[in-house]
Structure 1
């Protein structure tokens, strides 16, 4: 089979898993925050994957919406108190856009970062 006859479809749950990993690995991010809507989506997806025997990739706190030729990624995070939240948010945006593009070949139109909590220093 030649390269021009191959096609690949990367679904939103795969993009969400890549985005979740990228966000969690960004310096200054304490954790991803799933929220109520995120918890329901995670439980539904995890149940479906367990039913089929697949191990679910962590996607808590990440939602992906297909927008025309690209994607919009929403991520809910908690940041550490030792750095400026706005800088961490911008770093998360850049890291997610780069990682999703590199690992999936999908164009990211927007990354919306919602900072839901700031972890106090202990």
Structure 2
């Protein structure tokens, strides 16, 4: 497990509930992982290896692609640090920080409509069993 930079708390490996599928979120910014990455960066810059801890289901390739898209769209900035130990960190831009409020609202809405969203998805899946 990667240690956080001095002065900041490590990301909680359990910060995202594995039974909470991201497809339930009614809208997406970027791709499947983008909103989760933004949430990981809300308290400050993080290294790639730190992001992988709570995003345990993401492959290195998918995380790299998501970070590049977020950077391209102006939500995230990538900073390289030279020195004896070269490192790269990702941080939210002001535009990315501005998305945290709408993400909070979307998460609250999703929690409120959780059962309806699951029922709708199950109804639309061939062979899915509806809950009573």
* Higher-Rg member (1/2): 2
Flag whether TM exceeds 0.5 (same fold). no
Q: Indicate the structure whose relative CO is greater, using CA pairs within 8 Å and at least 6 residues apart.
A: 1
Question: What TM-score do the two structures reach when normalised by structure 2?
Answer: 0.24
Question: What TM-score do the two structures reach when normalised by structure 1?
Answer: 0.25
